Every structure is written in C-alpha cells, then in structure tokens.
Structure 1
Amino acid sequence: MKNEFTGESTVVGTASNKCMITILGPTASGKTDLAAHLAARLNAEIISADSRQVYRGMDIGTGKDLADYTVAGQAIPYHLIDICEPGTKYNLFRYQQDFLDSYEDIRSRGVLPILCGGTGLYIEAVLKGYSLSPVPQNPELRKALEDKTLEELTTMLVELKEKNHSVMHNKTDVDSCQRAIRAIEIETYNLTKPTEERQCPPIDSLIIGVDIDREARRKKITTRLKARLKEGMVEEIEGLLKQGILADDLIYYGLEYKYVTENLIGRLSYDEMFRQLEIAIHQFAKRQMTWFRGMERRGFTIHWVNAAQKMEDKVEEIIKLW
C-alpha cells in the first residue's frame, strides 16, 4: 500500500501478523499526536478509546484536540468521537459494540486500525474480548444506596468485584457517588442474574505505551489546564448548562466537568476549583498508569516508548516493532 503522506510503500500485512496497533498512556502524554503521526505513515485510521470524547459539545474539557488529527495537511480519519449527546450515560457495553462496528468496517476496507486512548477499561475490554450484556437500572437498589458516601459505596463495590472476580470499575472511572452506584448495580446484576454472553473475540494487537516522566507529566497537566481555561473551558460548560443539561449529569462525567460545574453553581470558588481540579487530574493520571501496569500483570505485553523522544524517532521505533 502506498502512503499518500510520504509516497513510500507500506506493508500492512506485517510480520507480526497482528490485527491492530494500540497506543495508550496517561493524560498529557501526547498519545493522540503520536497515533496521528503513525497513522499518517501507515495510512491507518484511529479508533478513540476515551470514555468522555464520545460526547458532542464536550470538546475543551475532554481534550479532543481535533487539530492533532491533521498531520502536514493530511486529515487522519478517526472514529468514536462525537457520537452521542451530552447528558446521556455512555457505557462500556455500548463502547464495545461501537468499537467492533468501527474495527470491522476499517478492516473490511484493508486499512489498519489504531486504537488510541487512556480509558484502560475500554482498551482492555476490546483487546481481551470481554463478554458483556446490558444491565437495566435497579430502582430499589439505587434508593437503598442514595444516602451512602463515596467511601461506603467504594467498599461495597470492592466486595462485589471480589465475588465476581471482576476487573471492571477501577477507581479511574468511579470517582463520584453516581458512578459508584451504577458500578454496584452492574456488579450486583452480574452476580445474581448471569446473562447470555455475547461473543466478542479478543483482538491481537501490538500495544504501545507512552512513557512520560512523572514531573514532566505534572508540568504538562498544569500548563494544559491553564491553557484550556483560557481557551474557554468554563464557557463551554456554562453553555451546556444553559442548554438544559443538569448540573448533576455534568458532575457525573468527573474531572473538568465536575469541578467547573461546581464552580458555576456556587459550590466552589474559582481558585478552589482550579486547585482541586489540578490535584484530581494528577491523581487521575496516576490511576491510569496503575491500570496499565495492572494490564501487564494480567498478561498484556506493552512496549513503552519515551514521550520525550522526537516524534519521528517514536514513529520509527513503533514501525520497527510492527
């Protein structure tokens, strides 16, 4: 296959015989930019693995950075971004379905898919081929849990996960009472009402991790947060509230949407919002890395590349592995 970007020929049926390349890493590691440059070299298409970038209109706060998908004037096709309305509750079950649709479409055209993102649960679910089923809401359970603290809910969730031998619902994705209650609802359903499993075959993928120095990551997170606030992140979230999206629904999404919304509705001052959000993003990045290291313990091979390398060197390193 000839690369329209470089004019060079690229062999997609590779010696590795793997079906996909996966690029993962913590927030602010530069994984999207790397995936786009790699896609330009390999005539590939990118499938997002981000639990919040699926929502339309939530652009600055989720860090879509859509400009990254253009490399030297070449637009890189991407999937699973802007696919549902803000205020709705997207979930792992839907993501697995949407991923498989995109993956099969890309492969059917003889194109290489690159999975890229930082939501470890989504990545692991599609690579390992989790068998999932839709779980209905349980009003009685929700009523019984509504007055419990996040700490109490987390303890209950840990106990349910142990019973289910589950690796779902890591702290990365359960950072509010709403999310914890939904996780308990799912784990309870799976424990008491086993459902017919969907057949979702595991996908053999070359997995690349973007390894960024802790201090460099912290500096980038702070710099990026300041930039996004200047770019209009508060105004973006204020606009979502004016559209009629409930504050609790935005708080459900966590991180930027949680803290900025709490500032806008008067629960936090601007300085408190900034300070607490900055800490929360640092903690989030740390939890992401904990998940990725856990993937390695669960049998995944992750090839780590140094984020500080020049872009062309990182791309070449991955192509050699491929």
Structure 2
Amino acid sequence: MMAITDYRLLVVLGPTASGKTRLGVGLARALGGEVISADSRQVYRGMDIGTGKDREEYGEIPCHLIDIADPGYEFSVFEFQRRFLDVWAEVRGRGRLPVLVGGTGLYLDAVLRGYRLVAVPANGPLRAELAALVPEELQERLCRANPRLHNTTDLLDRERLVRAIEIAEYEAEHPPEPLPALAPLVFGIRWERSELRRRITERLKARLAGGMIEEVERLHAAGVPWATLDYFGLEYRFVASYLRGELNRNDLFQKLNSAIHDFAKRQETWFRRMERHGVPIHWLDGAAEPLTAALALLGRTGARAGR
C-alpha cells in the first residue's frame, strides 16, 4: 500500500491495447485534469489510426504532446522531456492536474526517474583535437571526463567514443538545471495474457477496416519516404511493405499481429524494469473497473493533488 502523499502528477501506463487512454481520460475528468501523451509516435501529424490516437475518447479533456511534429522530424527523448516539463508546469499553472498517459517506456522512464538530459552541440575544435588521438588515448580521456561511465560500448567504437567525450566534457562545464519535484503517482493496467492478445487482434482488425492502409498511402503520397515509414515500425513498416507488394493481405495481418503481440511483451518487460529501478506502479485489473479501482485507491490512501 502506498503512503499518503500529495501528488503533482498522475501517470497511467500499460501495454498496447490495455485501455490506457480511457483510464487516463476518466481520471482527468474525475479529478479536474488534462492528459499529456507519452507516446513516441503520436507526436507526429497524420499518423492517427496506426498510432491509436483515439481522439473520440477525449471529449472535452485537453490532450497535449499529440500532433506537434511532422513525420520525418527526429523527435528525441530529450525533446520529449523538455516539452513535457513545459506542459506539466502550464497545466498546474491553470490549477489543473497533469495526467501522463502512454506506453513508450523510455519517455515514461525519462520523466519518472528524472533523466538529466542536456542538449550537447557538436564541438568542431574538440573533434579536430580528438582526431589525432589513438583509441587508447580516447578511452583514457573519456574515463577522466566521466569516471562513473557505465556504458562500456562507448569504448568500442571511435565515433561513439568521440561523441561520449564531447558530451561528458560539455556537461562538466554546463551542468543540467535541477528538475522540478513531480511527486508522481503511477497506475498500470494489467490483463490476463490471452485476453490482451485477443484485444490486440480485434483492435488491429478494426484499424485495418477503418482506413489504416489508406492512412499510410496518404503519408507516402504526401512525401514521407518508405524508409521513414519503415523507421516508425509496426503498423507503418508492415503496411508499407504491403503497399510495395512485398506482402499479401493475409501475411500483412498475420505478421503485423504477431509483431504487436511481441511489442506488448517488450513493454511489460520495460515496466518491470522500471519497478526494479524504484518506480512504484499500482497495478489495476483491466478486466474489472480500473477507473473505479484507481479512484478508490486514491480515496483509501488519502492521496491528494499537491499544489
């Protein structure tokens, strides 16, 4: 049982097709909140059906960080964190409760575990200086700049090694600003495995019938290259393969359905990893009434929105 707390952020997470949007909107409606999306693909305009924006579920509830970039723009976790913090402050400034909803583990982790991210520009003079050093000298310089180095793969590739030195030396001179105290309260939705698989399959059928193939056609006709659609993965990669004649309709469904099931497993693995790293998640049964359970849990613990 969680301790009594004043929370400044509600979070709703779960695997794809688990009903996150419905729960997030329900909490926002009940508690005077606004939704902030934590989905790495919903940031892109025109990618609606494949990403499951489900606009009809929001009604009068505002939703932020959806449709803020054009496909092809490289939207990073750093930009997500920066934009999230801006929106979080704006929503609270209006006296409303921010409700973060999504399934992109890296985005959620960046917020909940407070990644200290800094935008590090390329340093031409430094790179010229490093070009004269042999790999062993570069490794030594990186270890001096970052004694707490934990990603040893940076020591194996020269380009990554140079970039790691660039980042470490920049951060030493430009320490990141302290992050605000978010005081998050995190809810997760769980389903029995077979039921989640059924929900994923039924949703995919509905999306294919609802114009997902035509959506990908429109994106490509508007100038989004096949390579970019492949990069977005899952629905966009497989539908693009179908449109290029590399898959027939049955293979499109079967292969995409299997890929989404695998993706849901990876999401659940990421959430378990977040728990191991100290993020408490209060799991709700998706087959019951998760909104009722979440509100009851808030009431039982005395949790209340902080100011």
- Which category of TM-score, normalised to the shorter sequence, fits these structures? 0.7 to 0.9
Counterpart position of 2:164:
190
Contact kept? 1:36, 1:76, Cα under 8 Å: yes
Per the TM alignment, residue 188 of structure 1 is displaced from its structure 2 partner at its CA by: 6.9
Per the TM alignment, residue 233 of structure 1 is displaced from its structure 2 partner at its CA by: 0.1
Per the TM alignment, residue 17 of structure 1 is displaced from its structure 2 partner at its CA by: 1.2
Per the TM alignment, residue 265 of structure 1 is displaced from its structure 2 partner at its CA by: 1.5
**Match among 31, 41, 62 for residue 20 of structure 2:** 31
Output the aligned Cα RMSD.
Answer: 2.3
For structure 2, list consecutive stretches of 5 or more residues without a partner in the other structure.
124-147, 152-157
**Match among 46, 62, 75 for residue 35 of structure 2:** 46
1:1-322 aligned at under 5 Å gives the runs: 16-70=5-59, 75-134=60-119, 164-165=149-150, 189-190=163-164, 193-194=167-168, 195-196=170-171, 197-201=175-179, 203-310=182-289, 312-320=291-299, 321=301, 322=303
For structure 1, list consecutive stretches of 5 or more residues without a partner in the other structure.
1-13, 139-162, 167-183
Contact kept? 2:91, 2:98, Cα under 8 Å: yes
Q: Which amino acid aligns with 1:130?
A: Y
Per the TM alignment, residue 240 of structure 1 is displaced from its structure 2 partner at its CA by: 0.4
Per the TM alignment, residue 263 of structure 1 is displaced from its structure 2 partner at its CA by: 1.1
With structure 1 as the length reference, what TM-score do the two structures score? 0.76
Task: Give the distance between the partners of 1:318 and 1:249, measured in 2 at CA.
Answer: 43
Task: Give the distance between the partners of 1:186 and 1:211, measured in 2 at CA.
Answer: 38
Per the TM alignment, residue 115 of structure 1 is displaced from its structure 2 partner at its CA by: 0.7
Contact kept? 2:112, 2:279, Cα under 8 Å: no
Q: 1:65 to 1:216 in 2, by over 3 A?
A: same
Task: Give the distance between the partners of 1:186 and 1:37, measured in 2 at CA.
Answer: 44
Deviations 1:249-308 (A, max 9, x none): 111011101111111112222222211111110000000000000011001111001001
- Residue 245 of structure 1 aligns to a residue whose secondary structure is coil
Q: How many residue pairs get matched?
A: 264
Contact kept? 2:113, 2:279, Cα under 8 Å: no
Task: Give the distance between the partners of 2:160 and 2:293, measured in 1 at CA.
Answer: 39
Task: Give the distance between the partners of 2:277 and 2:297, measured in 1 at CA.
Answer: 23
Per the TM alignment, residue 27 of structure 1 is displaced from its structure 2 partner at its CA by: 0.4
Identity of aligned residues (%): 47
Deviations 1:101-125 (A, max 9, x none): 1001011122111111001110110
Contact kept? 2:12, 2:100, Cα under 8 Å: yes
Q: 1:269 to 1:297 in 2, by over 3 A?
A: same
With structure 2 as the length reference, what TM-score do the two structures score? 0.80
Question: More relative contact order in 1 or in 2 (CA 8 Å, sep 6+)?
Answer: 2
Counterpart position of 1:141:
none
Runs ≥4 in structure 1, deviation > 4 angstroms?
135-138, 184-188
Compare CA radii of gyration and give the structure with the larger one: 2
